[in-house]
Amino acid sequence: MQHRFNIEQSQRNLRLLRFLNQNPGYSKKINQPNFGVRELVDVLPNGKYIYAQTDNAGASITVRSNKLYSGGSLGLNIQGQNMIAGVWDGESARTTHQEFCGQRNL
């Protein structure tokens, strides 16, 4: 399975590289409004573009973090003391992000 995945990934990379070489004005990464990122990851043989995109809409529901609060339906008592959480989302995090104010560098 890993071998097949590596072959498919190589094929995607070749298609993408070929497309970008033939279309020098086309940008692989596109910054979206509200600091999202859209990245072209493949161009299928039929010409369809495949993108990966960061999107936070509904993320707390998707990862079910809305169930982790104290008194939530999972019966946990997580309140966040002495915890640091980090999530990578596309590119480097802005050092000016409001969540980093007063925090040490991680």
**pLDDT at residue 104 above 70?**
no
Q: What is the pLDDT of residue 57?
A: 55
Q: Is the pLDDT of residue 23 over 70?
A: yes
d(CA 23, CA 17): 10
State residue 6's pLDDT score.
Answer: 92
Query: Average pLDDT for residues 38-56, to the nearest whole number?
Result: 86
β-bridge pairing 37-43 and 29-31: antiparallel
Give the chain's end-to-end CA distance (angstroms, integer).
36
pLDDT at residue 54 greater than cutoff 80: no
| Average per-residue pLDDT for the chain | 77
- Look at residues 66, 59, 13 and name the one whose alpha carbon lies nearest to residue 36: 59
Give the pLDDT confidence score for residue 67 in this predicted structure. 65
What ranges do the domains of the chain cover?
2-81
- DSSP character at residue 90: S
